[in-house]
Structure 1
Amino acid sequence: MIVVTGASTGTGASTAHELARRGFHVLAGVRRDHDADAIRSTGIEPINLDITKPEQVKALTARIADDPRALHALVSNAGIQVNAPVEALPMTQWRWVFEVNLFGHIAITQALLPALLRGKGRVINISSIGGKAAMPTYGAYAGAKFALEAVSDSLRREVTPLGVQVVVVEPGGVRTEMATRGIATANQPATQMTPEQDERYGSPIQAINTLMASGTASGVTADTAARVITKAATTRKPRTRYTIGQDAAPIIGLARILPDRTLDRLIATNLRRSRTRSTRRGRSSSRP
């Protein structure tokens, strides 16, 4: 038996289907009834699960306790993406991003760890290349992912001697609804910026949106991402980390070896190019 959080759409849904195809009974965490109806199939049991709601996490724990099957893995995939400059993102949204992308993962891990210990299972935390390299306007999202990486390292060193393996998966560009929503969400705080903030950050926000759209369009499919996650969940001796997508490993590698200032200049150059492409497209679309 495997739990997959954030299984309503995209990578989570594809992972649930791939694991079910491999013969696992999957408890697929969804937040809405119509998502449950959409994903329900052979081997997939939808579970009403918002990882920020203790009563729903508790109900999942009880469901697992009543099942004679061992809990093989927890795939923590639930998450949200909010992008805005550090100065301009309201503190309520900072706290919400961390609540969903970090504290919710910790809460469900704490709740299910006794079952994972009994079954010698594993924890698969879905991070991001943003957990290794933080782009402008990614402060909240990358901050939570950096923290998730650290928590995963600590957890791995605590529970590996007890028979539970901990794996981090770091996707790059993946063509999912979350990425599309992230672009739209990035513009919401921008509409509330002061004129001074808009002057400071308006152009970088547009450049980042262009890069996000490009990275998503050229990214791997959710099914491809699901196969990597399934490998992390099922292979006998998993690596501690897996990347997804052609862009993930190079970006993480550069972040590891390049001096900060060099990486800053590289990112700034990329943004200038993106800004130029965006401006050219805008001029082209405005021609009669």
Structure 2
Amino acid sequence: MTAERTVLITGTSSGIGLAAAVGAARAGLRVVATMRDTAKAGPLREAAAEARVADRVAVKRLDVVDAGSVMACLGEVIDEYGRLDALVNNAGAGYVGTVEQDGMDPVRATMEVNFFGVVEATRAALPHLRASQGRVITVTSVGGVVGQPFNEAYCAAKFAVEGFMESLAPVAATLGVHVTVVEPGAVASEFVASQELDVPALLEAAGPYAPALRAYIERATKTFTSAQTPDEAAAPVIAALTADRPPFRVQTSDWARDFTGTKLADLDGSAVQSLTGSWVG
């Protein structure tokens, strides 16, 4: 992809999205870095300036759960640059909880952002990507391959994204559009902090699930102390943007490859259940 080609990345105010936006610009791409609230663009602008790529990073508002916002942003991109060569679906939201205790509203909200938002952005971008023979790159998660305790809604959404993209990929390929999913494990970023978990309150409200939830939180806390940096997790996104023929699926670390490999080789499900069961006691 040359310096004149344009990539739109969602969810760039922090974490992988911010790192991917700066990394793509450093790779010579013209980047449209989008976020729901452009008042939060300060860290991205600072990082782009420090990397000396501020002239190749344009910040725009895009809310993936608002179809009008998606179409308006894409319209601006085409009006200003004349083309779209890649879409990076990165915007997402985490959720920790279990359905009996929390009800359906959090499940629907999590699906709306992490699944339907991805579908909406992809649907709207495809006519432009067909014209440019471009690509769709979606940041999913190892949680899109292996279901994880107290992440029912989040993993359900990421499973749905993986199934959607795996089904779309051969269809899009007939028209010259490459589809890739990128699966990070734990990443040290604002994604975790943004969930604003009140652990004592969660445990108090968990009722009979409290012992399992406590064990899970203790394990998750240890995992994120040795997490990848956003730059490390974003590197496969940049590789997928610049490769001649990117793979369909790529993990961001050896740990993520081993973890997802457990599921992919687990025909009866016993290995995954044994592994994740140990997380909750």
TM-score calculated relative to the size of structure 2: 0.89
Aligned to 1:7: 12
- Write out per-residue CA displacement over residues 162-203 of structure 1, whole angstroms, 9 at most, x where no aligned residue: 000000000011111112334717776655x4xxx512x111
Aligned to 1:107: 120
What is the one-letter code of the residue matched to 2:179? V
- Write out per-residue CA displacement over residues 206-256 of structure 1, whole angstroms, 9 at most, x where no aligned residue: 122122222222111101111111001110111111101232111111112
1:70 Cα shift? 2.9
Gap regions ≥5 residues in structure 2: 1-5, 46-53
| 2:48 is the alignment partner of 1:35 | no
Is the CA contact (8 Å cut-off) linking 2:216 and 2:279 kept in structure 1? no
| Structure 1 residues 187 and 106: CA distance shift in structure 2, 3 A | farther
| 2:43 is the alignment partner of 1:26 | no
CA separation in 1, counterparts of 2:152 and 2:255? Answer: 20
TM-score calculated relative to the size of structure 1: 0.87
Is the CA contact (8 Å cut-off) linking 2:14 and 2:43 kept in structure 1? no
1:161 Cα shift? 0.7
Which stretch of structure 1 is more off in the superposition, 176-185 or 241-250?
176-185
What is the one-letter code of the residue matched to 1:78? A
Is the CA contact (8 Å cut-off) linking 1:172 and 1:244 kept in structure 2? yes
Secondary structure (helix, strand or coil) at the match of 2:260 reads helix
Secondary structure (helix, strand or coil) at the match of 2:83 reads coil
CA separation in 2, counterparts of 1:251 and 1:17? Answer: 28
Is the CA contact (8 Å cut-off) linking 1:173 and 1:247 kept in structure 2? no
Secondary structure (helix, strand or coil) at the match of 2:232 reads helix
Secondary structure (helix, strand or coil) at the match of 2:96 reads coil
- Write out per-residue CA displacement over residues 60-81 of structure 1, whole angstroms, 9 at most, x where no aligned residue: 1211221344312100000000
CA separation in 2, counterparts of 1:160 and 1:126? Answer: 19
Aligned to 1:172: 185
Structure 1 segment 129-208 matched on structure 2, within 5 A: 129-182=142-195, 184=197, 193=205, 198-199=207-208, 201-208=209-216
Secondary structure (helix, strand or coil) at the match of 2:179 reads strand
- Write out per-residue CA displacement over residues 20-51 of structure 1, whole angstroms, 9 at most, x where no aligned residue: 11111111111223323442322111111111
1:145 Cα shift? 0.3
> For the pair shown, which has the larger CA radius of gyration, 1 or 2?
1
Aligned to 1:283: none
Aligned to 1:282: none
- RMSD, aligned CA: 1.8
| Structure 1 residues 264 and 214: CA distance shift in structure 2, 3 A | same
Identity %: 31
Aligned to 1:123: 136
CA separation in 2, counterparts of 1:123 and 1:202? Answer: 40
- Write out per-residue CA displacement over residues 109-149 of structure 1, whole angstroms, 9 at most, x where no aligned residue: 11111111100000001110001111111110000000000
CA separation in 2, counterparts of 1:75 and 1:62? Answer: 17
| Structure 1 residues 208 and 260: CA distance shift in structure 2, 3 A | same
Q: Which of 211, 218, 229 is 2:226 aligned to?
A: 218
Gap regions ≥5 residues in structure 1: 273-288
Aligned to 2:278: 269
| Structure 1 residues 43 and 186: CA distance shift in structure 2, 3 A | farther
Aligned to 1:251: 259
Is the CA contact (8 Å cut-off) linking 1:183 and 1:209 kept in structure 2? no
Is the CA contact (8 Å cut-off) linking 2:263 and 2:271 kept in structure 1? no
Is the CA contact (8 Å cut-off) linking 2:38 and 2:59 kept in structure 1? no
Structure 1 segment 41-56 matched on structure 2, within 5 A: 41-56=54-69
CA separation in 1, counterparts of 2:275 and 2:180? Answer: 30
